Structure 1
Amino acid sequence: MDSYLKELKLKDDFLFAEVMSDKEICKELLEKILEIEIEKVEMVEEQKTIDLLLESKGIRLDVYVKDENNTIYNVEMQRAKHKNLPKRLRYYQGNIDLDLISKGEDYRKLSKSYIIFICTFDLFNKGRHKYTFQNMCLEDNSIMLNDEAQKIILNSKGIMNDLSDELLEFLAYVEDSTDDKVKHAKGNLVKNIHRRVKEVKSDISVEVEFMTLLERDREKIEEGREEGILLTKKVLKLSNSGCTISQIAKECNISEEEVRRILG
């Protein structure tokens, strides 16, 4: 069996989720990012999936934990630079909130929450390693909404000296998860994470789990290709029979823009 697992870096979400399943390491990272003390963290569910409605888009969370005060922490690794990342944050927040309370329950049951995205790109191109967002009154920025929801975007491409040495070392390690990065680390955070990385990569059961997921993803990609070929054939057949773009879109249950793209 080829050891694809050993080639992963911390920025790969599978490895990140496995490493953060160590509660002490997860707690240590959260404390450094948020500059707070946490007594303990509890894994609500490893790579928790929130799929509230059949019609809605479900989400799978890399790290989803709570502390002794029931504060929720969701940490995600993001490698692909999408302009819609802020909307993704909003969607995650909404789904987490809906998952926390049942229909008819009091809003006071909503826990304090932090959503943290660790990115391998600077979304705002301002050179910062950390961007923190809370809801604030635009007319008077001394007034905070106090909805107890905070969103943080960390990125490994920052150029400012705006974080502690340990967090800067961590972000450098996200980019290059090698022994060399650990040799020069001054703090314990990266050393502890690297120790856990080596444990994960040498665990045969984790290797089997990763290969199973990899094969499943390949099957889904192949299924998607086959479905795409069948859809293209159907669109072309309908077009050749004289159907309008609007009729084709309705018949195939796709947008008119998608029909035009297929027809070239």
Structure 2
Amino acid sequence: MRLDVFARGDGRVYDIEMQVARERDLGRRMRYYQAAMDVGELGSGEDFGALPESYVLFFCRHDAYGKGEPAYVIERRCGAHPDLAVGDASPWVVLNASAWEASADPGLRDVLRYLRTGEAEGPLSSEIDALVGVFNEDREWVDRVLTYEQETEMRCRKAREEGREEGREEGEARLAVLVGALLADGRSEDVAAAVEDKVRREELYAELGI
């Protein structure tokens, strides 16, 4: 699994995703990305308290939940007692660019407007737009990203095939979590080994406690 943007800072980790088309299983996707981040952040045998505060953020051009909110902050709570927070420190945030005008936060409104209309008017969106222009002109960078996309898709396809060969439904998910954890840690060589070498894959499962 590949994360669009993985960032770490101030004791927090972030996965930031772009969503242009409507996604029927958005909640399950966020759950999947959350699992990949957590596995990558907690070493084998470490206490669960070592897990950092984490955020999964989806930037959507449309309203994923149809309630007109510019930002949906989703946290796990007790059904019988909604005021009782679970305290897992891992909120999910779904942003809705179609409701950019309703945002009370100037910075968020600026970014959502840019995502929805392509017009850069504020300082943050102008900075982003300038960087987009710079990187689009860098053909070497664009080619490298496209090559990475192709290699990632190939590895994910092979991972799915390996998962089916394991003969159980959880095989594919387990391998995908391993690949996500290794990518998040910058271990690209181990990703290739995990997909292609069953012995090495089992060693990595044991190392990361997957």
Contact residue 63 and residue 76 of structure 1 kept, 8 A: yes
* Structure-2 separation of matches of 1:84 and 1:196: 31
**Can you give the 5+ residue segments of structure 1 that lack an aligned partner in the other structure?**
1-58, 224-252, 254-264
Instruction: State the partner residue of 2:75.
Output: 134
* Structure 1 pair 131–208 and aligned structure 2 pair: CA distance change class (3 A): same
2:47 to 101, 106, 109: 106
| Structure with more contact order per residue of length (Cα contacts < 8 Å, sep ≥ 6) | 2
Contact residue 128 and residue 160 of structure 1 kept, 8 A: no
2:129 to 174, 185, 194: 194
Q: In the alignment, residue 188 of structure 1 is paired with which amino acid?
A: P
Which protein is richer in helix relative to its size? 2
Number of matched residues?
155
Contact residue 127 and residue 160 of structure 1 kept, 8 A: no
Task: List per-residue Cα deviations over 1:100-122 (Å, max 9, x = no partner).
Answer: 11232211111110110111221
Contact residue 129 and residue 163 of structure 1 kept, 8 A: no
Task: Return the TM-score normalized by structure 2.
Answer: 0.66
Task: List per-residue Cα deviations over 1:93-151 (Å, max 9, x = no partner).
Answer: 11211111123221111111011011122111111111001112222222211111110
Task: Return the TM-score normalized by structure 1.
Answer: 0.53
Q: In the alignment, residue 123 of structure 1 is paired with which amino acid?
A: A
Instruction: State the partner residue of 2:8.
Output: 66
* Structure 1 pair 164–89 and aligned structure 2 pair: CA distance change class (3 A): same
* Structure-1 separation of matches of 2:129 and 2:32: 32
What is the deviation of 1:213? 5.1
* Structure 1 pair 132–195 and aligned structure 2 pair: CA distance change class (3 A): same
* Structure-2 separation of matches of 1:170 and 1:159: 8
* Structure 1 pair 144–211 and aligned structure 2 pair: CA distance change class (3 A): closer
Over alpha carbons, which structure has the higher Rg?
1
Contact residue 127 and residue 159 of structure 1 kept, 8 A: no
Task: List per-residue Cα deviations over 1:14-35 (Å, max 9, x = no partner).
Answer: xxxxxxxxxxxxxxxxxxxxxx
Instruction: State the partner residue of 2:19.
Output: 78
